[in-house]
Amino acid sequence: MMRSITRLGVAAVAAALLALPAQAQDKPKELKIGIATFLSGPASVFGVPAKAAAEMIAEDLNKKGGIGGVPVSVSFIDEGAGGEALVSNYRRMVQDEKVDVTFAAISSGSCGQIAPLAEDLKMLNLMWDCGASSILEAKKYRYNFRSQANGTPEMLAVLVYLLKTKPDFKTIAVVNQDYAWGRESWEIFSTALKVMKPDVKVVAELFPKFGAPDFSTEVSRLLALKPDVVLTTSWGGDLDTLVRQAGQRGLLQQSAFVLGIGESSMQRLGKDLPDGLIIGARGDHWFLHPEMKNDAAFKAFNEAFKAKTGSWPIYSVYHMQQAFSAYQGAVEKALKANGGKWPTREQVIDAAEGLEFKGWGRGVSLRPEDHQGLESQLVGVSKTAPGYDFKVLDDMMIFEPKSITTPAGMKSVDWLKTLSPDFVKMNVPTFKHGG
Amino acid sequence: MSGRLVSRLIIAAAIVVAAVLPIILPSWATLTTLILAKGIVVLGIIILLQAGQVSFGHAMFFGVGAYTIAFWGRYVGPGDLLLFLLLGPLIAMAFGLLIGLFVVRYREIFFGMLNLAFSMVMWSLLEKLYAFTNGADGIRVARPTLAGIAFTPEAFQYVLLYLTLGLVLVVSYGVQRYLDSPLGHMLRAIKGNETRLEYLGVSARKILLIGYVISAFLGGLGGVLVATAQQIATPEFAYWTKSGEFVFIAILGGIANAAGAFAGAAVFETVRFFASAQLANAWQLILGVVLIVIIMFAPNGLIGLRNRRKAQAEVRP
Amino acid sequence: MDSTIVILAICDGISYAALVFLVSVGLSLIFGVLRIVNVAHGSLYAYGAYMAATLSLLVAPISPWLTFPALLVASVLVGAIVGGLMERFLLRPVYHLEEVLQLLITFAVFMIMDNLQRMIWGVQPIFAAEPVKLLPNISILGVNYTSYQVLLLPLVAVITLFGLRYFLRYTLAGSIIMAVTEDREAATAIGIDARRVFLITFIIGASLAALGGALASPTTSLVPGMGTDMIVLSFAVAATAGLGQIEGAAVTALMIGLARAFIIYIQPELEVLVPYLIMMLVLLIRPMGLFGVNRVRKI
């Protein structure tokens, strides 16, 4: 017993020594960025392009002199390797590799594991892609920020678009993947729908297994039920399969489809995606962004990405850019506030609160109260366009973040219940493809 | 120097490494805890393997342990780790008794299959009952107090590590005693010759049920520890690939004695840890190849490697 | 429940059951002869699908109709090459070891194949829908079905079932396989080369898994991890039927397929649970499976 107490004491002393915050920072030789992303499993459809983007962005950044004159380096850990490996590797990244910042992660499940850990380790973490609004609503963090929007504005934008363009529908069905995002996005969407258009009837709520290879039965059931609108917030292989099986059997023609985050599947679906489907993009992410498409740097980035990977960027690529931009912005702001001396991590975090930065869309800001990202949302419909062997977005609306994001301090579901049918009347600019 | 002494020295050295290494390399504290906790679960697999039975659903007890602490946090409130360490294994034991009453009637592949079926039902329920379990994202586990004392995150990882190490020593000793006892010998007799066991007037089912319930207890204990270390419980804890992993670790380490479980877990987790960091694209490949090499060239596992050498060296009467 | 739903659920159930049957009958056959539960079976399913998509995309520009033979060629290729190599070099050396070690070898192969699949075909979903598009849709009670799913898939499943029956009962090679299944020692005693029988059986079983994957490929996105769930599902069918039971696998696949389809119409939340619940209940009542026969336990 005595021995174990001594041992405990040694451990505590050792731990305390290692946890001492580094004082009086010198300018580092290198800024290490640790990134958690999916390199295996179904979500690697987002993770692998984002990894390619991160490498590209870091290289480009270093050519321009890095962040505050310091070059950056990136390292990756695989979210697909399971919870234990993720947590162990995150610790290794922070404690052994001594990274300066982490970007983690894609899945809300991973973010839920890493956010408290980053807090424990006093590590600045940018949640670069995960969408569950609840993570930052349930608890106030100091070290975690979200460098993009969350599920609430993403779903709300899609719903308002639907109500503006198809105001007369009477019935709706949902087919979502059975996991947190599928459930939570439907909760947001249906709660808001109920207050904005109370007469709509929900005729089917289908939550097929995540990664299900076959939706034939769901398609049959929807063909028999004939709902006016079918919503799905699925992504990856699940969405591709659903759209193709529905298309093969005429369901896409029978009901109006809303693909909540369909932007990421458009290039893969090619001609199998018909015209006229409502498509969301988890932010104002589109490689032909109407306000950005003539920007030379934007065009060069897209071309370079296409040359490197064979595809145009999807939203996860733009989210990765936003994480880099946010970190760069925070460090440079802190540098300035510190009179040109290299800032400590705490100073960088102080600078990040309320930071405004720009990725490849409209500006984004990090709300100081709860660290949520405020980001615009782009929604459009699919359309055949000359020069592309897949469908592009047309009749795009870009929503301002202020009007569609849950106010700080409120829970999304409570806030949504306070909305009214008039909410739809908000003024939103519309852009044509090529216009 | 006798083989026995060498074995003891190796085990003592392993304990010292597990206790000291994380002080030098703090990032190893949690990893070492996970290795030790998984080793405890694998001890349960080893017990069943003594009887020649392979459970391809053992992760369900691991899941029960993990969700005990998760549900407590979600529906009851903050709790103490000592309470969870008692409650988790006991509930797992209750599940083990209930399921065990059915599965101990089966042998070999049917035993494995039925365990698989039970665990897949549990996994489906954890995934599907979204309102209660939060589905695939799992439930967050808050850092518990220990004996009423709340620790800082830095201190807690060491507290948990040494607590786990202590538990490992206790349960390893207990399991080794059990395996060396008449009950343990009868368990091995199920593999060797069950009929003879029955002729002796011993109920093979009862013997197996005792082993099964003990292994469920160990599964639950490991589940509580892993959920605490990782601060989360997800349905993945009860999925069949997790069960496969436990069997994998048991075979990797060798099933002859308790030390195998920890040797196997250490190698498995370390390989996965480094491979998923250095060769993020190939960690499964590496683990797969390691397993095949072990089975082909050292079917008795890592511990067997040493025992085989020992057996060659000394001829016993 | 009105009659429309019953008919629709039957149509959906049959096409699903057809694929599940093809995969699980391969698993069952391998177990019957080799006494090995092949955990890598789902990986063979995935490789069949990927190979079929690769070949389809290759031949489609020449003539879209060539995609049909491409599906078959893909499954035989995967079965013979992957299955053959696996049996010859990984399983044959461990036949003398305990069953659990043989099973773990296939578990290791599953991990390796899963990883290699990502390296070969990448992580972006692949889709090759030509065969479905070539065949017309048919309307049942005003609901569109692809004839690929409601006619062709069940047809292939039925042909496979009767083909296998004929092969095992009325051909010499089949009789030899049956003999080894019934009594391995006696069969080898009368001079049957068990090693060749094992190899051939494993290749047939692996080809059936690959065929299931190849036939699924035109209707589904091929993604990393697609084989993982198929493994347990085919386990469930094979174990519920009784391992080694071919006709039993057909009946069980149909049962699970129909139950799943009805559940999606009535209580979709329970869908995932259905196969495992059926498996659990059946095994509790009949440990050898619905169609399994009790073997005399050797003393």
CATH (domain of A131) = 3.40.50.2300
Residue A290: inside a domain: no
Residues C224/A42, Cβ–Cβ less than 8 Å: yes
> A206, C268: Cβ pair inside 8 Å?
yes
In angstroms, what separates the C-alpha of C151 from chain B's closest C-alpha?
31
The whole-number pLDDT of residue B280 equals 62
Residues B291/B77, Cβ–Cβ less than 8 Å: no
Asked whether residue B25 carries a pLDDT value surpassing 80, the answer given is: no
Of all residues in chain B, the one with the smallest CA distance to C97 is B299
Please state, in angstroms and rounded to a whole number, the distance separating the CA atoms of residues A161 and A432: 15
In angstroms, what separates the C-alpha of C218 from chain A's closest C-alpha?
10
Query: Hey, is the C-beta of C108 within 8 angstroms of any chain B C-beta?
Result: yes
Query: Are residues A52 and A140 located together in one domain of the fold?
Result: yes
Query: Are residues A397 and A268 located together in one domain of the fold?
Result: yes
Helix (H) / strand (E) element for B91: namely helix B81-103
Residues 6+ positions from A172 with CB-CB distance below 8 Å: A193, A200, A201, A202, A203, A227, A228, A229, A230, A231
In angstroms, what separates the C-alpha of B208 from chain C's closest C-alpha?
17
Tell me which residue has tokens 């002869």: C33
> A180, B134: Cβ pair inside 8 Å?
yes
Q: Which domain holds residue B63?
A: 34-268
Calculated CA dihedral for residues A310, A315, A317, A323, nearest 10 degrees: 170
- Residue A419 has phi, psi (to 5 degrees) of -75, 170
> A92, B19: Cβ pair inside 8 Å?
no
Q: Which two tokens stand for residue B168?
A: 């490992």
Residue C263: inside a domain: yes
Residues in chain A closer than 8 A to C5 (CB atoms): 224
Query: Are residues A161 and A305 located together in one domain of the fold?
Result: no
Query: Are residues A166 and A214 located together in one domain of the fold?
Result: yes
Residue B209: inside a domain: yes
In angstroms, what separates the C-alpha of B227 from chain C's closest C-alpha?
24
Mutate to test the interface with A, among C138, C220, C267, C273 (most CBs of A within 10 A): C220
The number of residues making up chain C comes to 299
The whole-number pLDDT of residue B184 equals 86
DSSP string, A398-418: EE-HHHHSPPTTS-HHHHHHT
Q: Which two tokens stand for residue A353?
A: 């609160």
Of all residues in chain C, the one with the smallest CA distance to A270 is C127
Residue C57: inside a domain: yes
Of all residues in chain B, the one with the smallest CA distance to C276 is B117
Residue C181: inside a domain: no
Residues in chain C closer than 8 A to B195 (CB atoms): 297, 299
Weakly modelled stretches of chain C, pLDDT under 50: 296-299
> B281, C119: Cβ pair inside 8 Å?
yes
Query: Hey, is the C-beta of C219 within 8 angstroms of any chain A C-beta?
Result: yes
Residues in chain B closer than 8 A to C101 (CB atoms): 251, 295, 299
Residues C201/C34, Cβ–Cβ less than 8 Å: yes
Q: Looking at chain C, which subunits does it touch, using at least 3 CB pairs closer than 8 Å as the criterion?
A: A, B
Boundary residue ending a domain (A320, A342, A371): A371
Boundary residue ending a domain (A371, A393, A419): A371
Residue A20: inside a domain: no
Residue C32: inside a domain: yes
Residue A1: inside a domain: no
Residue B205: inside a domain: yes
Query: Residue A224: is it exposed, middle or buried by C-beta count within 10 angstroms (0-12/13-18/19+)?
Result: middle
The whole-number pLDDT of residue C297 equals 37
User: How many CA atoms does the CB half-sphere of C194 hold within 13 Å?
Assistant: 17
Of all residues in chain B, the one with the smallest CA distance to C31 is B109
Dihedral of alpha carbons A17, A19, A25, A26, sign: positive
Across the interface, of C12, C16, C125, the residue whose CB is closest to A268 is C125
Q: Which domain holds residue C242?
A: 13-153+194-285
User: Which stretch of A294-298, B57-61, B183-187 has the lowest confidence by average pLDDT?
Assistant: B183-187
Residue B67: inside a domain: yes
Asked whether residue B317 carries a pLDDT value surpassing 70, the answer given is: no
Closest CA to B215 of B258, B273, B166: B258
Weakly modelled stretches of chain A, pLDDT under 70: 1-25, 84
A267-288 tens-digit pLDDT: 999 988 999 999 999 999 999 9
Mutate to test the interface with A, among B15, B231, B268, B276 (most CBs of A within 10 A): B276
Residues A367/A408, Cβ–Cβ less than 8 Å: yes
Q: Which domain holds residue A140?
A: 28-148+296-371
Tell me which residue has tokens 């190979």: C51
3-state secondary structure chain C: CCHHHHHHHHHHHHHHHHHHHHHHHHHHHHHHHHCCCCCCHHHHHHHHHHHHHHHHHHHCCCCHHHHHHHHHHHHHHHHHHHHHHHHHHHHHHHCCCCHHHHHHHHHHHHHHHHHHHHHHHCCCCECCCHHHHHCCEEEECCEEEEHHHHHHHHHHHHHHHHHHHHHHHHCHHHHHHHHHHHCHHHHHHCCCCHHHHHHHHHHHHHHHHHHHHHHHCCCCCECCCHHHHHHHHHHHHHHHHCCCCHHHHHHHHHHHHHHHHHHHHHCHHHCCHHHHHHHHHHHHHCCCCCCCCCCCCCC
Query: Are residues A207 and A91 located together in one domain of the fold?
Result: no
The whole-number pLDDT of residue A149 equals 94
Query: Hey, is the C-beta of B159 within 8 angstroms of any chain A C-beta?
Result: yes
Dihedral of alpha carbons B243, B248, B253, B255, sign: positive
Residue A17: inside a domain: no
Query: Are residues A270 and A310 located together in one domain of the fold?
Result: no
Query: Hey, is the C-beta of C271 within 8 angstroms of any chain A C-beta?
Result: yes
B156-172 tens-digit pLDDT: 888 999 999 999 999 99
Query: Are residues A124 and A71 located together in one domain of the fold?
Result: yes
Residues in chain A closer than 8 A to C127 (CB atoms): 240-241, 244, 268, 272
Q: Looking at chain B, which subunits does it touch, using at least 3 CB pairs closer than 8 Å as the criterion?
A: A, C
In angstroms, what separates the C-alpha of A51 from chain C's closest C-alpha?
13
The whole-number pLDDT of residue C296 equals 39
Residue B118: inside a domain: yes
Task: Give pairs for A119-122: CB < 8 Å, separation 24+.
Answer: A119/A143, A119/A144, A120/B153, A120/B154, A121/A91, A121/A94, A121/A95, A121/B153, A122/A19, A122/A21, A122/A345
**Residue A73 in 3-state DSSP?**
strand
Please state, in angstroms and rounded to a whole number, the distance separating the CA atoms of residues A304 and A311: 10
Residue C110: inside a domain: yes
Please state, in angstroms and rounded to a whole number, the distance separating the CA atoms of residues A93 and A21: 17
> C224, A40: Cβ pair inside 8 Å?
yes
The whole-number pLDDT of residue A126 equals 96
Across the interface, of B138, B155, B284, the residue whose CB is closest to A15 is B155
Mean pLDDT in residue range B296-315: 58
In angstroms, what separates the C-alpha of C216 from chain A's closest C-alpha?
9
Residues in chain B closer than 8 A to A96 (CB atoms): 25, 27
Query: Hey, is the C-beta of B288 within 8 angstroms of any chain A C-beta?
Result: no
Residues in chain C closer than 8 A to B125 (CB atoms): 273
**Residue A174 in 3-state DSSP?**
strand
Q: Which two tokens stand for residue B277?
A: 């960091």
The domain total for chain B is 1
Asked whether residue B315 carries a pLDDT value surpassing 70, the answer given is: no
Across the interface, of C101, C112, C239, the residue whose CB is closest to B289 is C112
The whole-number pLDDT of residue B305 equals 54
DSSP alpha helices (H): ranges in A270-406?
296-309, 315-337, 345-352, 401-404
The domain total for chain C is 1
Give per-residue burial for A260-298: e unless 16+ CB within 10 Å, then b: bbbbbbbbbbeebbbebbbbbbbbbbbbbbbbbeeeeeb
Residue C173: inside a domain: no
> C226, A213: Cβ pair inside 8 Å?
yes
Query: Hey, is the C-beta of C121 within 8 angstroms of any chain B C-beta?
Result: no
Mutate to test the interface with A, among B120, B154, B246 (most CBs of A within 10 A): B154
Amino acid at A209: K
> C223, A237: Cβ pair inside 8 Å?
yes
Please state, in angstroms and rounded to a whole number, the distance separating the CA atoms of residues C241 and C252: 6
The domain total for chain A is 2
Query: Hey, is the C-beta of C225 within 8 angstroms of any chain A C-beta?
Result: yes
Residue A14: inside a domain: no
> B295, C101: Cβ pair inside 8 Å?
yes
**For chains A and B, what is the number of CB pairs under 8 angstroms?**
119
User: Which stretch of A370-374, B13-17, B308-312 has the lowest confidence by average pLDDT?
Assistant: B308-312
> B27, A77: Cβ pair inside 8 Å?
no
In angstroms, what separates the C-alpha of B110 from chain C's closest C-alpha?
7
Across the interface, of B22, B229, B276, the residue whose CB is closest to A81 is B276
The whole-number pLDDT of residue C299 equals 30
Of all residues in chain A, the one with the smallest CA distance to C260 is A217
Residues in chain B closer than 8 A to A176 (CB atoms): none
Residue B210: inside a domain: yes
Residues A397/A161, Cβ–Cβ less than 8 Å: yes
> B284, C94: Cβ pair inside 8 Å?
no
The whole-number pLDDT of residue A17 equals 44
In angstroms, what separates the C-alpha of B122 from chain C's closest C-alpha?
9
Query: Are residues A160 and A258 located together in one domain of the fold?
Result: yes
Query: Hey, is the C-beta of C243 within 8 angstroms of any chain B C-beta?
Result: yes
